[in-house]
Amino acid sequence: MVIIAILIIVFKTLISINNRDRKDKLRDLVLRFDMLEKEYNLNIYKKEILQHFIIGLDERHKKLFVFKNVQDKYDFEIVHLKDMRSCSKKKIYNSSMVQTARNRRPEKYLDKIVIEFEHMSGRERIQLAFYDSTINNSTEIFDLNKKADEWERELGETIQVNLRKIA
């Protein structure tokens, strides 16, 4: 009985430490995002805070600001929506060999959910990953797919408005 009580206390302590660490990382990510927003003179109209990154839309300047924290490394990207022809959500699948009772066979799995931007100039496409199997848990697929749908719609409208102004 004493051993069970000790195990419960240890387990709860580990969970508490993990949750505190996650909150601290998220708070740091938001703080750094806000600092870069000011530094780059962005006027973020819509912002989404996800587990590993923050995405913000500056509608006035037609810029998408993405700030990521992957394995404690910070990186950011600014997508100039004025230079884009379109954007679309894509699901990227990969395969791995699965051992069955009789043989090995390839099995497909969802590797990434991205929003892909196509440049007007034909330059290399830009991908913004909402779900990445190497970072996210598979239980997050549904919610992140929904978020990607919302952002695809919002960004697509912004790009189309800009294209109509050009035409």
pLDDT for res 11: 64
Nearest CA to 124 out of 159, 83, 161 is that of 83
Q: Are strands 104-119 and 84-99 parallel, antiparallel or unpaired?
A: antiparallel
Indicate the pLDDT class of residue 20, thresholds 50, 70 and 90: low
**What are the residue boundaries of the structural domains of the chain, listed by start?**
2-166
State the virtual CA torsion across 136, 141, 144, 145 in degrees, nearest 10: 140
CB within 8 A of 143, min separation 6: which ones? none
pLDDT for res 85: 93
pLDDT for res 59: 86
Report the mean per-residue pLDDT for the chain: 84
State the pTM of this model. 0.77
Nearest CA to 88 out of 8, 148, 164 is that of 148
Average pLDDT score over residue span 107-121: 92
Could you give the CA distance from residue 165 to residue 167 in angstroms, rounded to a whole number? 6
Cβ pair 117, 125 in contact under 8 A: yes
Sole residue written with tokens 């695809």: 152
Indicate the pLDDT class of residue 101, thresholds 50, 70 and 90: low
Q: CA-CA distances (angstroms) from residue 167 to 7, 59, 118, 128?
A: 67, 19, 18, 27
**Tokens, residue 9:** 């206390």
18, pLDDT greater than 60: no
Average pLDDT score over residue span 114-118: 96
Average pLDDT score over residue span 45-57: 87
**Tokens, residue 2:** 């004493």
Q: Give me the amino acid identity at 6.
A: I
Could you give the CA distance from residue 69 to residue 35 in angstroms, rounded to a whole number? 15
